[in-house]
Every structure is written in structure tokens, then in C-alpha cells.
Structure 1
Amino acid sequence: MVDGEFVEGIIKIDKDTIYNGVIKFYDTSTNTIIREATYKNDTLNGKELTYYSNGNVMTEDIYADGEINGYSYFYDTANNLLQKKFFFHDVCLGPVVDYEQGEISKFRFYSFDNFRLFDLDYKTIETKSIDSWNSNLFFISSNIIQSDPINDEIETQFFIYIINPPHYRFQYSLCVADSANNIIKKIKEIDGSKIWETFSVDENSKLANQFFIFKLEIFDGKSLIKTLFDRNRY
């Protein structure tokens, strides 16, 4: 028993009561399971489940060294998924998806500082054009550094949030364009399975009268429905 709750599972208890393995916690008044967690050296490591009084799962999280990492799931009492959201070292970051009756109802995307960058209401999407979703779909920062002072080599470092709402595919890419905004070539295609990405590009990838520009292609299924360009030039 720990803090008034029964505990069972594959655990190791030494003189300091350090937990290892899967531990189940019970409501002592009803003898029903309320929580199940995996520990390593007294720290949460692995899956943690919490339960409703009817025995169905309420929440499901994955821990690494005591912090939630990866997708977190929240269910109703009938075991229907209500929400999933992503965590990075205990910080809610990137996609948050809400569900109603098994269907996606809302999508939101959050930055590292918990600022909502994008949201999409799937219940009204049929009556809205893609242009009304958001005035900005590019969230990028850049920094020019001297990567090799001896040979005078210069790189541009980029950080980009990768928004990718369900039922659509957002394909970001970095291109080189001329002064008339004509695309000369594609430098890099951004991995859409990530939530953010950092990378560096040699400044010699473009000429003096050219610049870097980010392009976003939005697909509905296999069909390209919109192409957008970041208003910033790098």
C-alpha cells in the first residue's frame, strides 16, 4: 500500500522503497484499479494509464525519465477517444486533436512557448475556403553564421514548425528564387512527419541576386489544392 492505495505488480522494494517495473494502484474503498504506471529507479519510465471507476482507460501517457514524451490520449467513460496531444519533455507542443463521436472536430498547433499558431474547426471546414484558415502558415526563424572562418564559409540556420492537420498533407520545402520571385530550384523538402526541424544551408547555394524562400503545398488526398509562399526572404 502506498499513500492509502493498494499497489501490486513487478516491483523491487529496497530499504529506500525505490520502485521498479509496472505498479498498479487501487481505490481501497472499491478495490478497483485507478492507475497503472511503469517505473525505473523510482522515476516514471514507460506507459502510464489512469482508469475510470468502470475500468475503462481515462488517460494514456508515455514517460521518459519522469517527463511525458510523445502523444498523450484522453478517453471518455465509454473508451471513445476525446483528445490526443503531443508532449516534448513535459511541454505540450505541436498538434492537439479533438474528437467527437469518433470523428476529428478540431485541430490546433502550439509552439514551444505554448502560443497557438494554427487552429482548424473541422465542423465548419465545408463552408470555409482554404484561404480563411489562417493568414500565416509559415513559422520560421533564421540565423546567419560563419561556419568556417578560415575559408570564409557562411551558412543560414533555419528553424521551422511543421503544421500538418489530419486529412490534409502540408508539404514544406526550401527553394531558391530570383528577384522576380521565380523559383530557380528546390534546396530541401521538409519531413512532414516531424513537428519541427532545424537545419543549415550553405549560402553558396544561391547567387548574390537570389534568396531563399519557403514554399508550402497543401494536398487533399493526392490532389494539390493550394500553393503558398512565405512572405519573408532569407
Structure 2
Amino acid sequence: FDSSSLTLQPRLDYGVFDVYSYGWGGGIDGAANIPKEAGVKLDVPFQPLDMDLNVVVNSTAVYKNTGATWGWGEQETKWNYGAGLSFTTHPMTLAVQAVTTDVTDATWYGTSYGAKLEVDLAPVTVNGQFVSWSPESAWLSDGSGIYGKVGYALSDGLGDLALEYKSCDENFNAANSIFGATPDEYSKLAGTYTYPLAEAVNMSLTVASVDKGLGDGGFTEYEVKFAASF
């Protein structure tokens, strides 16, 4: 416990992994989480087990008449909690995470739990995730989503290949909405090739098949990115 730490963070964002939703409003950023507020984070590494425990706590002021951050009249404090535990034994890392809040805004807020498995079998890497979500908002229902990614590092510095899949059911896809479940599930299957143009400069090309779950069918998406690190 000698390397444990307790920190005060001005804004604390504790989300459950990378499982994704598009939603009626479009492009929800992040995963199921607690409200981003000032908070406290406790990090406890367990050595030599290569295990880490994270616990976070923060609070949110809500209106009594709505239980949300919007409303009128008197306010009260709601407490938000998150916890995560990860364990590594080569070549595998297993992590579990959970968050809970009583804030009833139509966002990711509610109670969520998930599991993640990462395997590094160089040159192949595998990442699989599952998240279950129980929203606080009365007009939203329980849902779930999955995330998977397989990567392959090409030899002779020729770059990397990745195949990524995201999917969630109609209820999970309704996060951040007052309209309830979407007509269909959200899904995205993407293939990416990343090539190193120079030291610390990469170019990536992605081709993806996407269905936002809004009942208007799927489409193909093309994306080219240039990234530089300093």
C-alpha cells in the first residue's frame, strides 16, 4: 500500500470503458458514467500481484422537483460513486468496473457495470468489452452494449491493421435522450490501416459500415487521419 494515492480532482470523469451509443441527439461522447464533477479518487496498487483498485466519489447539486440538474425551487445533493479493479497476468489483463448515481438527467447517468479483457499476443492484440446500463431516467429502460477490437502489427515497419466492432441495443442507444428507445440497434464495423509516414507522424485510413439505429438504414463511412506526437 506504500504507493497508494488519494487525490482531489477539479473535474472527475469516470466512465465504463469504450462501449458506445449514438443516440437520438447523435454522437454521444464517451461511455456510461457518473456526472463529471469535482471529486476524490483513491488509487491502490497491489504488488506484486499486478492488481489495481480505483474508487472515486463526487457529488452533484440537483433540483428536488426533478431529481436532475435542471428544474426549479430547492436543491439537494446527490452522491455519485465509481469503482474499478484490474488484474494483469501476461499476456492478459482483466478489468471490471461499476458506476452509480441517483441523478435522473437523460444521459448515461444511472447504474452501470462492465468487464474488459485485453490479450497481447504480439503481433496480435485483442480487446473485448461488455457493459450493462440501468438508467435513472423514468423514460429510459435497461440496456447493454459490446465492444471488440483485434489489432495486428505488420512486420518491417509497414504499420498496423485493426478491426473494430461496436454495438448496443435500442435502449442503450437511447442514452442522452427524452424520446426513449431507438427503432434499431446501433452498430459499427470498422477496418483501419495505420502507416508511419515519419518518426511520430502517422497516417490512418478507415472504412466502416455504420447503422445509427435511427431506422434510416446503414451507410459506409471513409476516414483519413494524420496524427503527430511531440
What TM-score do the two structures reach when normalised by structure 1? 0.30
Larger relative contact order (C-alpha < 8 A, sep ≥ 6)?
A: 2
